[in-house]
Structure 1
């Protein structure tokens, strides 16, 4: 098979454009992927958008406190989502296709077409790779064969037209646990799909009652990428945060917020963490506030002037990374902020423009223009890595001190994937880069 266009550049990344990397692993370790303890790298894999079912976005790797080297780059036809990685292969969805990339050299192993444009990032199951589009979930085996497309069903599709009138849908990437893929649909449902039989197991209308509010605000009312832990599925919605029984989709609890939640919740050690301007930690079994969430309030189901006014506040995004002691968020002012996991107090804040001076190539003006990015941070050993409008930035997990910045041609919206001493991430021009420590 002819390889994707790539530049096999090895060595340090000075003036070169760089930022992602690869990872190896088998993608089937239940302890690493299903217990909600926050560790995604014990099995050397990054199986889904936030590194595993807990959405903790943590990789136990070394070496990224120093500027990494570029292993390879590939050019995809559209902006890619976050990579899913296992067995020496990075799976990336861009536009209306899903590609498998060899981590050792950037060669294309295979490519399959989606039914439409991707609506999230792929995820890896023991015997399958899954990727969402507007109408359903594409399921193929690890070689790109045995193609199946599982529709979300007519009821969901019928509501999609009305929902899309409110604005673009919230991206939702699937989370796979024990042969079931959980994903939010563009119409605002949360669905569970059994991969063995390729059918929808259950469906819960996670945004019911809030559709009118979404239309009033001309915003989306979708469901975020789910976190799955301890038999529970937790998502963000237009109204706040909601938890469902993983077995049958029945509602367990809801927590209303004054902002729409666009970020994927993380569930670690019995607590739910959500970022944004008003980050909050909730008890996973009850939804009770543990810390944060100042200004949250129950909102009327009618689009009253007061509720609409509150919901006009910026949504809670991007997603947080949850380590042993810190919760790290990427805020709308292009800062990384670390909170204490125990009480939510701020431990440090790192303005990302201050990392600019660490770059060897900053342009003729010597500075970069930053704007809010949707890239979510990941914890890679002793470093925190995130995409910005100017490239990829790393700061120290301990104190937020700048470590390195690698420039890119286009803004980095996708979140990095990290495992086995490597990072993979793509930018808005469709270029994907692999970095190694």
Structure 2
């Protein structure tokens, strides 16, 4: 397998999965510490380049709009994806974090308990609702007709239109901290939550009570792929478990830290390490092939619906392809 870089752009800052989003025909990314840039996916050409402010706490695509929540200034901005024009901005309290879009509502706030949570109209930024006081929320998730939030032992599904409570669950373990990805949707009606003590808990809209799937070795990222919940282990490697009962489905050992989230690729997946190594895996975790994006300290991989591949690295962002390695023709012995 050979990795070929199609185009690459200097960021003048560290890359990372939190500073870019992939759209239907473009990529929007934060760079130079104070700019938001839209690049054409085909060749990396700049579509637009606008001032933003400092590192974004949230960056979300919503149809033909980009929502961005920088640390400073204290503004939630809505930008036209086609032109880069500002459609509206809304002043936010200092330390506002968490950003989720559900249909025509933008939900913000609750990060570390510093601010209230609010729902804003996606069309014009008008405030639809605000909690009467600051609340504490883990990273929110748009799921099953609502916005999933929570803290401690409580998970709550809010109606994005008015902030009312649609459902509430009492979890056997307290939810993990406010900065990590906590909720992973594993279907239309089930969620796996990361809790303290490196445990996973499953809950949903059915009659079953929330259940602990198990406690695992320390991990620092979690997600869902091919019907399994994966964990990037802090000591290196990946563990994938069954979201129904927490049993191990497959694992990948690594002698160096895997930093990029596993991606769907063909009928399997891709994983990458900090030194630029990329492995193609079968659905059961077996290594099928490997290659390297040489000279790059990888932070994240991303893909698009059509199979396009992207990387964020130390100082750069780019697009790449993978192709099978050519085999020499076999010579028949006379």
TM-score (structure 1 length as normaliser): 0.61
Shift in CA distance, 332/284, structure 1 to aligned 2, threshold 3 Å: farther
Shift in CA distance, 195/258, structure 1 to aligned 2, threshold 3 Å: closer
Q: Does structure 1 residue 105 correspond to structure 2 residue 43?
A: yes
Q: Does structure 1 residue 247 correspond to structure 2 residue 161?
A: yes
Query: Could you tell me how far apart the structure 1 residues matched to 2:294 and 2:109 are?
Result: 31
1:91 equivalent in structure 2 = 28
Q: Does structure 1 residue 178 correspond to structure 2 residue 103?
A: yes
Long gaps (5+) in structure 1: 1-65, 161-168, 211-221, 296-312, 354-369
Superposed, 1:129-208 pairs within 5 Å as 129-134=66-71, 135-142=74-81, 143-152=83-92, 156-157=93-94, 160=95, 172=98, 174-184=99-109, 186=111, 188=113, 189-204=116-131, 208=135
Q: Does the CA-based 8 Å contact 1:253-1:287 persist in structure 2?
A: no
Select the structure that is richer in helix.
1
Q: Which has the higher contact order (CA 8 A, sep 6+)?
A: 1
Aligned length: 306
Cα RMSD over matched residues?
Answer: 3.3
1:280 equivalent in structure 2 = 201
Q: Does the CA-based 8 Å contact 1:273-1:320 persist in structure 2?
A: no
Query: Could you tell me how far apart the structure 1 residues matched to 2:194 and 2:263 are?
Result: 13
Q: What do the CA deviations read for 1:404-434 (whole angstroms, capped 9, x no partner)? A: 243465643345243312112212x221121
Q: Does structure 1 residue 341 correspond to structure 2 residue 281?
A: no
The SS at the match of 2:230 is: strand
- Given candidates 307, 327, 330, the residue that maps to 1:421 is 307
Q: Does the CA-based 8 Å contact 2:119-2:129 persist in structure 1?
A: yes
1:43 equivalent in structure 2 = none
Long gaps (5+) in structure 2: 323-334
Query: Could you tell me how far apart the structure 2 residues matched to 1:97 and 1:127 are?
Result: 19
- Given candidates 270, 281, 302, the residue that maps to 2:189 is 270
1:74 equivalent in structure 2 = 9
